[in-house]
Amino acid sequence: MQHKADHQVPVLVVGGSLVGLSMSLFLGRLGVRHMLVERHSGTSVHPRGRGNNVRTMELFRGAGVEPGIQEAAALLAGNHGILQTPSLVGDAGEWLFKEIDPGGGLARLSPTGWCLCSQNDLEPVLVKGARALGGDLRYFHELESFAQDPEGVTAYIRNRDSDRMYTVRADYLVAADGPRSPVRGRLGIGQDGPGDLFANVSVTFRSKLLADVVGDRRFICCYLTDPGGDGALLPVDNKENWVFHAPWHPEHGETLEEFTEERLQRHIRHAVGAPDLDVEITGKASWRAAERVAERYAADRVFLAGDSAHEMSPTGAFGSNTGIQDAHNLAWKLAAVLGGWAGPGLLGTYDTERRPVALATSARASARSVEHSHPGFAPAPGIGGGKRGGILNVVLGYRYPEGAVVGADPDQPVVPDGLRLTGEPGSRAPHLWLRRAGERISTLDLYERFPVLLCDAGSAAGAGWHAAAGRVAGTDGVPLEAYRIGAGADAGLTYDTEGEDWAAAHGVTADGAVLVRPDGFVAWRASGTVRDPEAGLREVLADILRRG
Whether the CB-CB separation of 513 and 453 falls below 8 Å is answered with yes
Whether the CB-CB separation of 456 and 511 falls below 8 Å is answered with yes
Whether the CB-CB separation of 484 and 466 falls below 8 Å is answered with yes
Pairwise CA distance, residues 433 & 497, whole Å: 8
pLDDT tens track for 37-91: 999 999 887 666 778 999 999 999 999 999 999 999 888 888 888 889 999 988 7
pLDDT tens track for 196-216: 888 889 999 999 999 999 999
Amino acid 375: pLDDT = 55
Tell me whether domains 7-75+114-191+291-363 and 433-544 share a fold: no
Amino acid 78: pLDDT = 84
Amino acid at 188: G
Amino acid 315: pLDDT = 67
What is the side-by-side strand order in the sheet with 241-248?
A: 94-97, 82-85, 221-224, 231-235, 241-248, 191-206, 280-294, 310-311
What's the whole-number mean pLDDT along residues 396-417?
95
* CA 527 and chain centroid, separation: 31
Amino acid 373: pLDDT = 55
pLDDT tens track for 140-174: 999 999 999 999 999 999 999 999 999 999 999 99
pLDDT band at 548 (very low <50, low <70, confident <90, very high): confident
Q: How far apart are the first and last CA of the chain?
A: 30
Residue 145 neighbours by CB under 8 Å, 6+ apart: 155, 156, 186
Residue 374 scores a pLDDT above 70: no
Pairwise CA distance, residues 494 & 485, whole Å: 6
Residue 28 scores a pLDDT above 80: yes
Stated as kind and residue range, the H or E segment containing 37 is strand 34-38
pLDDT tens track for 221-251: 898 988 888 999 999 889 999 999 999 988 8
Amino acid 385: pLDDT = 34
The beta-strand segments (E) located in 422-488 are 433-436, 439-442, 452-456, 481-485
What's the whole-number mean pLDDT along residues 332-361?
97
Pairwise CA distance, residues 448 & 457, whole Å: 22
The model's pTM is: 0.92
Q: Are strands 439-442 and 433-436 parallel, antiparallel or unpaired?
A: antiparallel
pLDDT band at 102 (very low <50, low <70, confident <90, very high): low
Q: Where are the domains of the chain?
A: 7-75+114-191+291-363, 433-544
- Comparing 452 with 363, the larger pLDDT belongs to 452
Pairwise CA distance, residues 195 & 291, whole Å: 5
What's the whole-number mean pLDDT along residues 330-356?
98
* Least confidently predicted of 91-100, 179-188, 435-444: 91-100
Residues in the chain: 548
For the chain, give the longest Cα–Cα distance.
79
Second CATH level (architecture) for the domain 7-75+114-191+291-363: 3-Layer(bba) Sandwich (3.50)
What's the whole-number mean pLDDT along residues 416-420?
89
Amino acid at 145: S
CATH class of the domain defined by 433-544: alpha beta
Percent of the residues in the chain that have a pLDDT greater than 70, as a whole number: 94
